[in-house]
Amino acid sequence: MQITRYTDYSLRILMYLANKGDTLSTIKEIAQSYQISRNHLMKIVQQLGNKGYLVTIRGKNGGLKLNASPGDINVGRLVRDIEQDLTLVECMGSSNTCVITPVCQLKAVFSEALQAFLSKLDEYTLADLVALKHRAAFIQLLDPG
Amino acid sequence: MQITRYTDYSLRILMYLANKGDTLSTIKEIAQSYQISRNHLMKIVQQLGNKGYLVTIRGKNGGLKLNASPGDINVGRLVRDIEQDLTLVECMGSSNTCVITPVCQLKAVFSEALQAFLSKLDEYTLADLVALKHRAAFIQLLDPG
DNA sequence: CTAAAGATGTATTATGAATGCATCTTTATG
DNA sequence: CATAAAGATGCATTCATAATACATCTTTAG
């Protein structure tokens, strides 16, 4: 059981920006800091922009920043927004072929467990992920130099 | 976010056997009933046998049955036993390369959420998945004929 | 001894995430 | 107005690994 890098990277981008406050950051810079694919980040940033998590500014001197304060960005909400497929077991999805589905309780049980998972994530915001006391260390670790 | 078919099929096998009581079933028969790969089931049965969930009997007239009553087979326990990789995010695994890991709270938050997920599954047993009142319907749906 | 069952190891296929590449659009600035 | 620096977008490719197939071995009832 894993979530996609998409969602993982989404959270990393948001953490990066949370530490930068209102200063604009570029995709290039974030990709270098985390040493991950610039192209991949590009698409994630797009999606985060479309979903309203980011302000993206095109053109020269453009860049990214958060569209809300870290305390207002909920982790559970983000995972629900970004993780495309929360089909834990086949019978939770649309292409299910399992013959016992009509009488099987598996779907109900896993749906409940998924809710418990997401509800726990709902208890946290981006601010919890980048605790203020670690701000300096974060910035140091993310220095691309 | 998905669990593997391995785990999904494991649960299906156990449900099948739960409905058969002490009667032996064969892998071939289960594969036909669910219309899934016999070879794949083979390995899952092996693993379930090794972990003590099944009694497997080789040779002619051999087959499989549960090694415990359905009420004693816990869903959470099974998922922990069978699902190989519970590395939800990169930083939870051994091949993590994320530079901010030392100060990032992502791992802690996702670990907590994973616990909540598994704890919910812990509340159910195989008996809950194959409620007695559905026994007849189950057997009908699983009839390979 | 044979047939029917599970056990085991290796190879292959299929799927989808991850990544790369090429091109377009936007915008500040000289 | 031209240019450079930024994000936006679509298509192609790579890669990882789950899923499946194949081949062979072992066990055991009759």
Assign 3-class secondary structure to A62-105.
Answer: CEEEECCCHHHCEHHHHHHHHCCCCCCCHHHCCCCCCCCCCCCC
pLDDT at B86 over 90: yes
Whether A2 contacts B85, CB under 8 Å: yes
Averaged pLDDT, B103-125: 97
Whether A3 contacts B88, CB under 8 Å: yes
Averaged pLDDT, A121-142: 93
DSSP state at residue B57 = E
A35 contacts B106? CB cut-off 8 A: no
Whether B116 contacts A119, CB under 8 Å: yes
CATH architecture of A5-86+125-142: Orthogonal Bundle (1.10)
Whether A67 contacts A53, CB under 8 Å: yes
A103 contacts B112? CB cut-off 8 A: no
- Tokens matching residue B51: 């972990």
- Tokens matching residue A15: 């953490």
> How far in angstroms lies nucleotide D18's C1' from the CA of residue B9?
13
* Percent of chain B scoring above 90 in pLDDT: 90
pLDDT at res. A47: 96
pLDDT at res. A144: 67
What residues in A contact B2, CB-CB < 8 Å?
1, 85, 87-89
Whether A130 contacts A18, CB under 8 Å: yes
Measured between alpha carbons, how far is B17 from B67 in angstroms, rounded to an integer? 10
Averaged pLDDT, A72-94: 95
Q: pLDDT of A22-39, one tens digit each?
A: 999 999 999 999 999 898
What residues in A contact B137, CB-CB < 8 Å?
102-103
pTM: 0.94
Span of A13-17, A107-111, A121-125, B36-40 with lowest mean pLDDT? B36-40
Best probe of the B interface among A1, A41, A80, A119, by most B CBs < 10 A, is A1
A15 contacts B104? CB cut-off 8 A: yes
Domain chopping of chain A, boundaries: 5-86+125-142
B63, closest nucleotide (Cα–C1'): C5
pLDDT at res. A145: 63
